[in-house]
Every structure is written in C-alpha cells, then in structure tokens.
Amino acid sequence: MDLYEYQGKELFRRFGIPTSEGRLALTPAEARAAAEQLGGQVVVKAQVLTGGRGKAGGVKLADGPDDAEQKAAEILGLDINGHLVRKLWVESASEIAKEYYLSITFDRGEKKALFMLTTEGGIEIEQVAEETPEKLARLHVDPLEGYQPYQARRLIYGAGIDNPSEQKQLLDIIGRLYACFVGTDAMLCEINPLIVTPEGEVRALDSKFTVDDNALYKHPDIAEMRDPESVPPEERAAREKGVTYVKLDGEVGILGNGAGLVMSTLDVITLAGGRPANFCDLGGGGDAQGVVDALEVIIADPQVRSIFFNIFGGITRGDEVARGILTALEQIGIKHPIVVRLDGTNAEEGRELLAEAGPDNLHVEPTMLEGAKRAVELAA
C-alpha cells in the first residue's frame, strides 16, 4: 500500500525523523486556516500517489494565508499523471541550502535491505543512477546482523558528505529510518529531498512510503490510512467484494481461477487476435457468489463485448463450477456472449450441465485456444 506524503511523514515523526510542521487541507479555506495557524511562509503540496508533483505544478510556495488560499485553489482539481488532486498538505516552508536523497528498500536479488544516499537529491534517483552513478552510495543491511551504526558511517562517507554536523544528524536519521522501515513492515521509505537548511539542520521534505500489504494486519493504524478514493471506482467495487480485478484496454472480459491460468488466458486471447478488456481472478474457488461478484465487476466495464470464462477444475470440481455459473447467470441477467472453457476434474459433467441448462448466450468450448478464438469472434 502506498501512502500519501503526509501519512509517510506522520510515520517518520513517530520514529523521530525530523520533518516540518504542517496541516491537511481539503479546501482553499482550510489551506488559509492552516497557513494562519502555521504563520510565515508555507508550501502548499498536492497529495497524490505519484511523484513529480513539483514539475506538474502541484507544489507551490505561499507568502501567507491569502496566498495559500489562492495557491490551494490552483492546485486542487489538478490532474497529476492521471491522479486528481483532492487533498493538500500545507507545511511551514523551509529554506533549502542543499538537497540530498536517502532511501531504504529491498534488493530482492541480494535478499537484503538496501540503503541509498546521495548529495544529488531533488531529482529522480534513476537519473542520478544513470548519469552520475559514482555519486550514489549503496549499502546492504544483512538481516541476520541487523543494522549497525558503522554501516551508516560507511554510507555517509560513501556519499562524500564531510560536514561533521551533517554526518552526526544523518547517522541519527539513518538509524531511525531503518527502525521505521522494519517497524512498519515497509517495502520502501524514500526521502527526496532530504534537505540541509542554511542553519545546517537536516530534515525530510518529502516522503514516498510503501507498506507491505501482507503485513497490514499487524498495523491496523496504517491499514486505516488507505484512501478508498485513491483507486478507480470499479477496482474499489471489486476490492470490496474481495475480487482480484485489473482493468486493461481491449474488448474481451476475462475470468479465471488462479493467477497463472489468468495470465496465460491473457496471452491466448492475444494469440487469437483479440485484446483483453480486464481480468478477474476467482482464486481457487468457483462458488456461485464468487462468480456473480466477478461477473458484475467485469460487465461494469463498458468496453467489454464478450466474456471468456476459463476454468480448470482441480480441487474445485467442474460440475460444481458449472452449477455456480448457472446460478450466477440466473441471478444476474447478462446480455454479453459468454464463452466457457471448462477442463480438469469432472469437466465432462460440468460441460454437459452447461450445455443442457445454459442460456443461449453461453458457449461451451473444450480447449483454451478454441474458447479464446470464439470469445474474440464474439467481441468483433
């Protein structure tokens, strides 16, 4: 789960990483009130789950409450890389002498956490890695050994930071960031820029924070940070029903049981000359309610012209799946042509059931390729 900047900064603060004081604002009037409370110059920042807000006009300095209200009105409603701005973070503006970059993430190849630090902050880290790789200090933390302060010193020297006061503050921040990363079960904690003020104070000016979804049960407070409005409405509806749903661009809606089967179904639809509109994964099951939920999600997409239902019966028996499909079709009237490929355990019985009791728009095919070809034909 990705967190907004203001949420990531809240977690930073819990672990003692210095940030600026700020307030959340949903309207220009709230931004004005926030600026009044904070006093002095503020920065008004779009809260969207994407980077590059500065370049897109989503980060603006304001001289006081009036200006903050105006800047808020300019930023709210902006589209930043397809993300609509509905929330603002208004924080006390910082004076910036230097912009550094600090992050910790997983290096899956090494099976270790990886710190990266560079004095070339403020720009995309990929650009630093490409253009000036020698300026990017990288350091792995062995999970068995755990974090040790000497590692932070090595990282700081590696990045060429020789100011003793900065070194001391960074040593502290790096240790705290490691504690934050582990303590929140994060997959990424990125601070870009990590600034040095003219007074020499080091502070996190931005936050990019991803928490492992599978660990959210351990962190109910973080799980609550999820913003249901940050995902498209159809994906939200699917998630509420417990259906795995992904929107794509073509005409054939795809339903299957199991991620591997669904992935190969996408390929076979493409092979047959069609394009998938979306896909749903029923997981291991195929009970009527699961099928109803998935079909409802699929047909909510106006691009869908036909549906390919690809089922391999393993533990779930084919005749049970067939009954599930029939019950589902009785419950929701679907006009779209539906092609079913049913194979595996009790597939024969399942196909017979479908052929006997199925409605006219239900087409049963014996193999995946034949099913895909039929679904593509019917979508034309």
Residue of 1, 17, 44, 59 interacting with ligand GDP (CB under 6 A): 59
Comparison of 166 and 251: residue with beta carbon closer to ligand GDP:
166
Catalytic option among 5, 190, 296, 365: 190
Interface residue with ligand GDP among 24, 33, 96, 248 (CB under 6 A) is 96
Q: By CB under 5 A, tell whether 192 contacts Mn ion.
A: yes
Question: Phi first, then psi: what are they for 339, rounded to 5°?
Answer: -105, 130
SS (H, E, C) 62-113: ECCHHHHHHHHHHHCCCEECCEECCCEEEEECCCCCEEEEEEEEEECCCCEE
Contacting range for ligand GDP; rule: CB under 6 A; set: 49-57, 106-114, 220-228, 343-351: 49-57
Residue in 5, 206, 281, 296 binding Mn ion, rule: CB under 5 A: 206
91 binds Mn ion (CB under 5 A): no
101 closest CA partner among 204, 211, 210: 204
Report the distance separating Cα 377 and Cα 109, nearest Å: 43
| CA-closest candidate to residue 204, choices 41, 7, 340, 13 | 13
Is residue 374 within the footprint of ligand GDP (CB under 6 A)?
no
28 is an interface residue for ligand GDP by CB under 6 A: no
Which residue reads 């004081």 in tokens? 21
Which residue, 206 or 365, is less far from ligand GDP as judged by CB? 206
Kindly indicate which of the ranges 88-96, 174-182, 247-255, 345-353 contains the residues binding ligand GDP, using the contact rule CB under 6 A: 88-96
What number of other Cβ atoms are within 10 A of residue 343's Cβ?
18
- Tell me, yes or no, if 101 is annotated catalytic: yes
Under rule CB under 5 A, residue 47 binds Mn ion: no
Are residues 303 and 251 in contact, defined by beta-carbon separation less than 8 angstroms?
yes
- CB-nearer residue toward Mn ion: 206 or 365: 206
Site string for ligand GDP, 159-198 (x = CB under 6 A): ---------------------------------xx-----
Measured CA to CA, the distance from residue 375 to residue 274 in angstroms comes to 8
* Identity of the residue, 90 or 269, whose beta carbon is nearer to ligand GDP in the bound complex: 90
C-alpha 296/C-alpha 371 separation (Å) is: 21
Residue pair 293/241 in contact (Cβ under 8 Å)? The answer is: yes
52 contact, one of Mn ion, ligand GDP, none, CB 5-8 Å limit per kind: ligand GDP
Question: Residue 86, Cβ neighbours under 10 Å: how many?
Answer: 14
Contact range with ligand GDP by CB under 6 A, out of 66-74, 93-101, 140-148, 319-327: 93-101
Calculate the CA 62 to chain-centre distance. Answer: 30
Q: Give the residue, chosen from 9, 23, 32, 53, that forms a contact with ligand GDP under the rule CB under 6 A.
A: 53
> Are the CB atoms for 274 and 307 separated by under 8 Å?
no
Give me the least distance between CB of 66 and ligand GDP, in Å please: 18
Sequence length of the chain is 380
Half-sphere exposure of 213 (CA within 13 A, CB side): 3
Tell me which residues touch ligand GDP (CB under 6 A): 43, 45, 51-54, 59, 93-94, 96, 99, 122, 192-193, 205-206
Residues taking part in catalysis: 101, 190
Residues binding Mn ion (CB under 5 A) = 192, 206
